[in-house]
Structure 1
Amino acid sequence: MNRLTSLSFTIIALGLLAGCATSPESKFYTLSPAQVAEPSKAVDRVIIAIDPVSVPELIDRPQIVSRLSANRVSIDEFARWAEPLKSQIARVLAADLAQLIPGAIVSTYPQRVGENAYRVSVDVQNFDSSMDGTVMLRVIWSVRPPKQGEKMSGRSVVTGTATGPGYDALASAYSRALASVASDIVAATHSAMRQ
């Protein structure tokens, strides 16, 4: 019985030690507005409201998703977005638009602005990255002027490369890609203002 008792205690002790082993610590990442080299001319007070952003369900999760092949992805449990991706995309686009159109008031809460706002809709079709650090962003967007103006629609396809290894560089590459999308939206907004 001593041998069986000793074996039982050993198994229990090993189980407790295995349970106390630490798992890797999660790291959290965020997108950031780009630094604009040359903003457009200041405009009279213009209000821009960004409607809720839509993203594919595949990436609508806290974990960062990377594409391994056409039919396979990697979902990293320990590399996570600090806030929902659709919220980050709207926040970064708003900051980019505010930099690109000096004097503009840009809000991600469309219900808080009046009828005199330009409404921006953003539908993210692809938000992909590969293991080699390449990012690809495909976005369908529209700018609807206040009152009776004609809606301007467009599609932005942006490919970029991370400047280094890791998710930090990948988040920066996505941020630069969003800045390019913001530039396309600004061009449409200026066209809408001239109507």
Structure 2
Amino acid sequence: MSRFLFISCLCTLLLACQHSPKKNYFYLSPISEKTVTQTSSNVSSQLIGIGPVDIAEYLTSSQIIDNQSDNTLTMSDNAYWAEPLDKSIARVVSLNLTQLNNGRSFVNFPWRSDSKPHYSLRLHVDTLSRTGKNANINATWELIDNDAKKSILRRNFLRSIPAESGAKGLAYAYSQLLAELSKEMDEALNQNP
């Protein structure tokens, strides 16, 4: 009798596992090439470093945070980031900046000692969230002279744009926010040597 109960419990457990909901994965994407007007830099193949990119600790979860209000985070059901958010942000910013100016190339932090860039862009993201129907970003970025070991420029970047519901709409809105951030960084790179 105990053997029958054990087998019944095991079968029930296996059936329950088969019906668990499918996980959905989402990623951030760079600027659409159709909307980019490329400009060439006077310096061909200027190497710029991207990173380090630091994000607030609550953003390190692989599960997508759907909403934030009253100091409460709501996690999306079965919606996950396809890659760690800090790495995704660095990848997208690098691709955006490359599309905005093909006269520069980018290397992500940590870079090898033999490919250390003269300049780098550091980024700290304090907030990347949806509040109500808007996606928000609160970030600080710096243009660093790595040889002189000093900050050339430091700016705060605050934006809020409408976001469609669901994880797909949120990933798209975050991508748009990073596109705006990249354009601001590109303008600063164009104004500095």
Instruction: Please confirm whether the aligned pair reaches a TM-score higher than 0.5, indicating the same fold.
Output: yes
Closer/same/farther in 2, CA of residues 60 and 135 from structure 1, 3 Å limit:
same
Q: What residue in structure 2 maps to residue 34 of structure 1?
A: 31
Does residue 80 of structure 1 match 2:91? no
Does residue 20 of structure 1 match 2:20? no
- CA apart distance, 1:165: 3.4
Structure-2 separation of matches of 1:43 and 1:95: 20
Q: What residue in structure 2 maps to residue 160 of structure 1?
A: 161
Gaps of 5+ in 1: none
Q: Deviations over 1:169-189 (max 9, x none)?
A: 211110010011111111221
Q: Secondary structure at the match of 2:53?
A: coil
Within 5 A, what are the aligned runs for 1:37-116? Answer: 37-45=36-44, 46-76=46-76, 78-112=78-112, 114-116=115-117
Within 5 A, what are the aligned runs for 1:99-178? Answer: 99-112=99-112, 114-130=115-131, 132=133, 134-145=134-145, 147-148=147-148, 151-162=152-163, 164-178=164-178
- CA apart distance, 1:30: 0.5
Closer/same/farther in 2, CA of residues 99 and 9 from structure 1, 3 Å limit:
same
Q: Which amino acid aligns with 1:42?
A: S
- CA apart distance, 1:38: 2.0
Q: Which is richer in strand?
A: 2
- CA apart distance, 1:51: 1.7
Range moving further from structure 2, 25-34 or 8-17: 8-17
Gaps of 5+ in 2: none
TM-score (norm 2): 0.83
Q: Deviations over 1:120-175 (max 9, x none)?
A: 1000010111353x21011100012354586111111121122x432112111100
CA RMSD between the two structures: 2.5
Structure-1 separation of matches of 2:167 and 2:14: 29
- CA apart distance, 1:107: 1.1
Q: Secondary structure at the match of 2:76?
A: strand
TM-score (norm 1): 0.83
Q: What residue in structure 1 maps to residue 192 of structure 2?
A: 192
